[in-house]
Structure 1
Amino acid sequence: MPRSSPGRPIALTALLVLPAVLAACGGPVEVEVPRLSTADRAACAAFAADLPDTLADEERVEIEPDDAPAAAYGDPAIVVRCGVAKPEGFDLTASCESADGVGYYIPDEQYDDQDLDLTLTAAGYSPRVEVTIPARYRPNAGPAAMSVLAPLVKQHLTLVDDCD
């Protein structure tokens, strides 16, 4: 009869626990919390409460502060924030990418350079929603995020100016 090694249960336990420990090493993703009016705070809270468990095939991860109107997905994190300021370079002549009827402003320099992080902003809505996507997830995560978030943007936020 084969003898078992006394170290095997410990080694097996270490292998089972190690992924959880490694996942926790990064800690929560820190997000900036904007100053919002009472109405915008309520809209952003409703929007954030409806954000999905996965975005662009990435699982949702913890954020800090945990009550921020935001969510993060994956590592490095794709971050969705509600209540952001008007993006630099956005004006009424800016062009936007549309997904399911929601226009997202993308800074010009990010269109063609797939090595840059991507910032999408539903700039025609109030309050505004911003999605930052690390370059590693390009080119597919941008369109995936836009289409998943579009119904939530339309449901919880107010269209102020079309961004086409």
Structure 2
Amino acid sequence: MRSAAYAGRVPDDYSTDDTDTDESAGVPQHESGASSSRIRDGDGRLSPAFLATLIAIPVMIIAGFVTFAVLRGDTTTLDSMPAQPGTEKACAPFMAALPDRLGDYGDKSVTGTSARWRARNGDSVYVRCGVARPDGLAPSSRLQVVNAAQWFITDERDSGVTYVAVDHRPYVALRLPANSGSAPITDITALIDQHLERAPLDLR
């Protein structure tokens, strides 16, 4: 209410004339005809250049949203998690045993100690062996037991959940999309227990 009251008062040393003028030239300030001519041609129609601009702006905005969505999708992978040095050899048997399919997810691709499976709807399951101990793991942490492994959730969003198996070494991270079913985590748990050593929980 204070700002509204101030807006209704005009300082005494300002003119209330509605016409804006350039005091040095004494000429009212009006929009030049040049800018108008750039918008409309001689027949009063919108100029091609102006129409092209109107089309280009929404296209650029859409492209920006698509790029953002793609980049945001990449953040669901496990590549950004810190690695535990010297685990490549220990991870090798586990990586070699990974199946071509995990439930409804196929089209497996492997890069180093990371693997990915894709579903027809575009969702993916990610596995990475040799990640570092999760920083948030503590005596008060709630763990999920799936058969022979205990999993600690490090990230949980609407798009999916990231788990780390914390009672075997090296640590294995698993990223599951929402509604992925139990098959992927069950199969990965079995392989972890078969090919990686059991280890005590490192609760600090």
TM range (shorter): 0.5 to 0.7
Mark the structure with the bigger radius of gyration. 2
RMSD over aligned Cα atoms? 2.8
Relative distance call for 1:76 and 1:49 in structure 2 (3 A) is same
Indicate whether 1:79 and 2:126 are aligned.
yes
Identity of aligned residues (%): 25
For residues 107 and 94 of structure 2, the distance between their equivalents in structure 1, rounded to whole angstroms, comes to: 15
For residues 87 and 34 of structure 1, the distance between their equivalents in structure 2, rounded to whole angstroms, comes to: 10
Deviation at 1:88, TM superposition (A): 3.2
Number of positions where the alignment pairs a residue of Structure 1 with one of Structure 2: 123
The one-letter code sitting in structure 1 at the alignment partner of 2:93 is A
Indicate whether 1:47 and 2:94 are aligned.
yes
DSSP 3-state at the match of 2:162: strand
Greater relative contact order, per chain length (Cα 8 Å cut-off, separation 6+): 1
The one-letter code sitting in structure 2 at the alignment partner of 1:144 is A
Give TM-score, length-normalised by structure 1.
0.63
The one-letter code sitting in structure 1 at the alignment partner of 2:109 is E
Q: Verify the 8 A CA contact 2:108 2:116 in the aligned structure 1.
A: yes
Give TM-score, length-normalised by structure 2.
0.52
The answer for the alignment partner of 1:118 in structure 2 is 161
Unmatched 5+ stretches in structure 2: 1-73
Q: Verify the 8 A CA contact 2:131 2:173 in the aligned structure 1.
A: yes
Unmatched 5+ stretches in structure 1: 1-28
Q: Verify the 8 A CA contact 2:78 2:173 in the aligned structure 1.
A: no
Pick the aligned partner of 1:153 from 188, 192, 202: 192
Q: Which runs of 4+ in 1 moved over 4 A?
A: none
Pick the aligned partner of 1:36 from 85, 90, 105: 85
